[in-house]
Amino acid sequence: MTEKVSVSKSLEHMARELKNARMARELSLDEVSKRVTIQKSYLEKIEEGDFGFLPRVYIFTYIKEYAQEMGVGNDEILEQCKKDLQIYRVTRSNVPPDTSTEKPVKAEGEVHAGIRLPSVMNRVIIGVVLLVLVLVASFFAFDNGKLSTFLSRTQASLSSGNVEHSARQSATIAQLKKEKSPVSVPVALPAQPALPAQPSSSALVSQASALSTSSPDSREWAKGISFTPASQSSSYQKVLVVRVVKGFSWVKVIVDDNPKSVPGTEVQTGQVLRFEAQKKIWLNVGRPENVELYLNGKKVPPFTIRTLVFE
């Protein structure tokens, strides 16, 4: 689904400059498309000032790659285009330091470090479902207990020599067995509350609070994979491992603001990708529920958004 984006002066200026630079070099869109590995139709829309054909973070990435190839624009203009596309990110400086050893109390539905926490309503729904299951199991257990008690009394009556009474009891038992059938208890589950819309902007995953302490080193698939930097003196101090645990996904990675790191690739079940960065790793994945992430050997908790930034 595309989204409508209002075109600002900086975006109009950038689109015009890109088209003029391409025509000045006498290059066709096909030639530029091959150079920057961006679809021709995307380049056409950018030059026409259409910035709503993809999510905004992709639009900005393509504009930046196109501008670098054509040698137009500067950091100030690109930053203004980024603001006009309303792409924001959370930095560590915006997060107050944790001065206590107690875990902070999070509000219902709060999003922390790109991970959406379960709301109180979800917990209530789970509790109601579990309670209903326990009641149904107790009902069947009680019903089977009554039948066992009745059979025991009937056997005692037969052994006492009361043949007539035993015959009536036997007929009653046969009738009970014939008519006994599983009891169907309708369970009315509360309606699932609508989930809030996923944020379209990048989310920064804080290593200090969002990473778990579990380590994959003991698992069979992790053998031969380095989850940590080569050494403390290495300039690459961020190591991200991406593993597809089921189905398939696709992965696009930008390392240290280099847009040509990984243009985008499809990854199947069991495949593992490893990336190194000096300062920042920008990650976009399809089907987040099929993917596991490990940052410097620590597992990132399950996530539902598709774009994360580690820095």
CATH architecture of 9-84: Orthogonal Bundle (1.10)
pLDDT for the residue 199:
45
Concatenating the DSSP letter of every residue in 190-259 gives PPPPPPPPPP-S-EE--TTTS--S---TTSGGGTT---S-S-TT-S--EEEEEEE-SSEEEEEEEETTEE
Distance from C-alpha of 64 to C-alpha of 282, rounded to nearest angstrom? 15
Query: What's the whole-model pTM score?
Result: 0.33
Residue 310 reports pLDDT greater than 60: yes
* Mean predicted lDDT score pLDDT of the chain: 74
Distance from C-alpha of 167 to C-alpha of 54, rounded to nearest angstrom? 80
Check residue 302 and report its DSSP letter. P
Residue 190 reports pLDDT greater than 70: no
Q: What percent of the chain has pLDDT over 70?
A: 61
Identity of the amino acid at 130: L
pLDDT for the residue 119:
63
To which H or E segment does residue 152 belong? helix 120-159
Q: What's the pLDDT band for 150 if we cut at 50, 70, 90?
A: low
Mean pLDDT of 204-218: 50
Residues in Cβ contact with 124 at an 8 Å cutoff, skipping those fewer than 6 apart: 190
The token pair at 18 is 């890109």
Mean pLDDT of 305-309: 89
Distance from C-alpha of 249 to C-alpha of 216, rounded to nearest angstrom? 20
The token pair at 36 is 């920057």
Q: What's the pLDDT band for 114 if we cut at 50, 70, 90?
A: very low
Distance from the first to the final alpha carbon of the chain: 30
Distance from C-alpha of 81 to C-alpha of 56, rounded to nearest angstrom? 11
pLDDT for the residue 10:
85
Domain ranges of the chain: 9-84, 120-179, 196-310
pLDDT-wise least confident of 31-45, 128-142, 273-287 = 128-142
List Cα–Cα distances, 64 to 78, 183, 208, 265, 268, in angstroms: 7, 65, 31, 20, 30
pLDDT for the residue 259:
72
Residue 219 reports pLDDT greater than 90: no
